[in-house]
Chains A and B, each alone.
Chain A
Amino acid sequence: MTTSRSRPRPAGFGRLAVRMTALTALTAALALVAACAPAFRGPPPLEALVGTDAQVVLGERVFAAACHGCHPNALAGLGPGIIDSRRPNWLIRLQVRTGLGAMPAFSTAELDDVELDAVLAYLDALRER
């Protein structure tokens, strides 16, 4: 008698499944470490961002209205720090759109792609100071 558990699988399926699962585990581990790791550098200086481009200026305004409350100056507050953690921009984008954990999700109606790109450019500018 053949059960579903012992149903024959195409050759190579097992190896693919293991690779996919390993990839998922690696991604999840990376995301968790990035999100929960402690800060690795101090706060940025006080000076205003000067000589920056229009996208960074827009990003600063959008960040002030949408993000600063929980992440003051992109550092830890109610929520975790952003520029002092190892969060990559792809994870920030994912977190903004899906609202993982305690963070609310921001739809494109709340924060369109141009604005989100501008926030990420602003965060890059803060990191580079």
Chain B
Amino acid sequence: MRAPHERLILVPALILALLTLAGCFPFLPSQGGGQTAFEGPRTVDPSDVALPAGYAIEVVATGLTFPTGVAFDAEGRVHVLEAGYSYGEVVTTPRLLRLEDDGAATVVASGENPPWNGVAYADGAFYVAGGTLVGGEILRIEPGGTVTTLIDDLPSLGDHHTNGPAIGPDGWLYFGQGTATNSGVVGIDNAGFGWLLRYPDFHDVPCEDVTLVGRNFRSADPLSEDAGEVVTGAFVPFGTPTEAGQVIRGTLPCTGAVMRIRTDGSGLELVAWGLRNPFGLAFSPTDELFVTDNQYDLRGSRPVFGSADLLWRVTPGGWYGWPDFHADRPLTDADFFRPPGEPAPGFVLQVHPGVPPAPVARLGVHSSSNGLDFSASEVFGHVGEAFIAQFGDLAPVAGKVLGPVGFKVIRVDPATGVMRDFAVNRAPERGPASRLGTRGLERPVAVRFDPDGSALYVVDFGVVTVGDAPEPRPETGVLWRIVRRDQP
């Protein structure tokens, strides 16, 4: 018979061993960057932002509401785009602003279909991508304020919208179209985003024909009053089941894709698909198209765990894995993608168009890696490297994190995939200024070099705290500028 003191040791030993095997992840609280309180107004101080030696940051504009882009006209004048919408279902007015030398902002144009997610300037006009209330669109805005719609009714009514644009070396306008859902299946999470109640029939649309496994997912039904349940498959409206072997016809425009049009709006073409939310588009100094792709969240009927945001080098005609792969790894790899305590996501497609290539870089999980641009100037340095604005996590809505992810500008060497912080809050911990109690960066959403490449402009969306849902704060957006002080 075992002595009492042996039992005393054995029991805690077993408990400890079990805890060690299970890991501490399930027991630790989420520590997202937005899980904090904020009392406005926001104040800023460049000295609270750390940069590599030789670089300096300064404030260009404050008090912006949900800014998402920056561009320069033929005279090099700075223009800022305000989205007019933020997650959290806050709607304002989308605007293109010209920043005058005296610090004043002049409204060049405004719209009624937010969010305006990005802006580019080429050959005498601004091009804006966006729209979710009545569908996605690409607009051409003359410096005098005349607005022309180049293409509309893009499938942008869901979680992710029409993004970009970038004017290619071929003169075509390239844009991203995000997916309607997290991983292909409309669910209760889409009611949380607001759109399922507005557009109950909306769903993802593949760019080419796909054949389904026929997996269906049970969820609560926010569209009915009797608190019932419904069954929903992939690439179909909420509450619609699918069957094995069912073919969903591909069409253009589609979701989860990069497409292109001529700058007069004609000639819509597919560039690449199988992306999730291709938010940032930029051509490298060697004229290759790079795209940042926000990857899966831990939400909805088919949650996916642990998928890092990606930087892709996009090859025309390529398929990049959504909704069944994360980069080159299939979602059937349950050890990597099964959420703790939930089923593995598995496949929803019977046949895949191929195996996606390896990405250029695997960025932080939930970092919301968004706008990017390439340095092309020896004056600024790091020529050929990609600078990426990381909006930062929306934990716990998008999934739990053990520490804030993003809230900074990073640089990536496309040759190695190595990432390094470039502009980050100066503090003993990481996170947005509102969490750290400083006056530095909140949520960088876009970066762009000025026309001569000597200054990097950083668009800071502003404060978004996260409780049960994102809570964006109007008039907290900031435009920053980074220059090199020890120029060669």
A61 touches B419 (CB 8 A): no
Map CB proximity to A onto B11-24 as digits: 1 under 8 Å, 0 otherwise.
01100110111111
| A29 CA / B307 CA spacing, docked (Å) | 30
A28 touches B308 (CB 8 A): no
| A100 CA / B333 CA spacing, docked (Å) | 16
B421 touches A102 (CB 8 A): no
Residues of B within 8 A of A68 (CB): 308, 362-364, 419
The reply on B6 being an interface residue by CB < 8 A is: yes
| Besides A22-B13, A43-B428, 9 other A-B contacts (C-beta < 8 A) | A14-B6, A25-B16, A32-B20, A46-B50, A64-B416, A78-B405, A80-B25, A99-B335, A100-B21
Which 7 pairs between the two chains have the least Cβ-Cβ distance?
A101-B23, A76-B403, A69-B308, A25-B13, A28-B16, A36-B24, A102-B25
A32 touches B16 (CB 8 A): yes
A81 touches B420 (CB 8 A): no
The reply on B306 being an interface residue by CB < 8 A is: yes
In the complex, 8 of the A-B residue pairs with CB atoms within 8 angstroms, ordered by the A residue number, are: A18-B9, A43-B428, A47-B53, A60-B418, A64-B417, A78-B402, A101-B22, A101-B24
A17 contacts which of B6, B53, B305, B366 (Cβ < 8 Å)? Answer: B6
Separation in Å of the B329 CB from the closest CB of chain A? 10
| A25 CA / B20 CA spacing, docked (Å) | 11
A70 contacts which of B1, B22, B306, B335 (Cβ < 8 Å)? Answer: B306
A46 touches B306 (CB 8 A): no
User: What residues make up the interface of A, taking CB atoms closer than 8 Å to B?
Assistant: 5-6, 14, 17-18, 21-22, 24-25, 28-29, 31-32, 35-36, 39, 42-43, 46-48, 60-61, 64-65, 68-70, 72-73, 75-81, 99-105
Interface stretch (choices B26-34, B97-105, B181-189, B286-294): B26-34
A70 touches B365 (CB 8 A): yes
Interface residues on B, range: 35 or more
Residues of A within 8 A of B418 (CB): 60-61, 64
User: What residues make up the interface of B, taking CB atoms closer than 8 Å to A?
Assistant: 1, 3, 5-6, 9-10, 12-13, 16-17, 19-28, 31, 50-53, 305-308, 333, 335-336, 340, 361-367, 399-403, 405, 416-422, 424, 427-430
B367 touches A72 (CB 8 A): yes
Residues of A within 8 A of B405 (CB): 72, 77-78
Residues of A within 8 A of B16 (CB): 25, 28-29, 32
The residue on A at minimum CB distance from B415 is A61
Residues of B within 8 A of A61 (CB): 416-418
Residues of A within 8 A of B20 (CB): 28, 31-32, 35, 100
Q: A70-B306, A77-B405 are in contact. Are A32 and B24 (CB under 8 A)?
A: yes
A18 contacts which of B5, B367, B402, B417 (Cβ < 8 Å)? Answer: B5
Residues of A within 8 A of B430 (CB): 43, 75-76
| A31 CA / B53 CA spacing, docked (Å) | 38
The residue on B at minimum CB distance from A37 is B24
| A39 CA / B28 CA spacing, docked (Å) | 13
Residues of A within 8 A of B24 (CB): 32, 35-36, 80, 101
B335 contacts which of A22, A43, A105 (Cβ < 8 Å)? Answer: A105
Residues of A within 8 A of B424 (CB): 43, 46
Residues of A within 8 A of B19 (CB): 28, 32
Residues of A within 8 A of B417 (CB): 61, 64-65
Q: A32-B24, A69-B365, A70-B365 are in contact. Are A14 and B3 (CB under 8 A)?
A: yes
The residue on A at minimum CB distance from B18 is A28
A78 touches B306 (CB 8 A): yes
A77 contacts which of B333, B335, B364, B420 (Cβ < 8 Å)? Answer: B364
Separation in Å of the B482 CB from the closest CB of chain A? 13
Separation in Å of the A118 CB from the closest CB of chain B? 13
| A46 CA / B419 CA spacing, docked (Å) | 11
The residue on B at minimum CB distance from A6 is B1
The residue on B at minimum CB distance from A25 is B13
A77 touches B422 (CB 8 A): no
The residue on A at minimum CB distance from B26 is A102
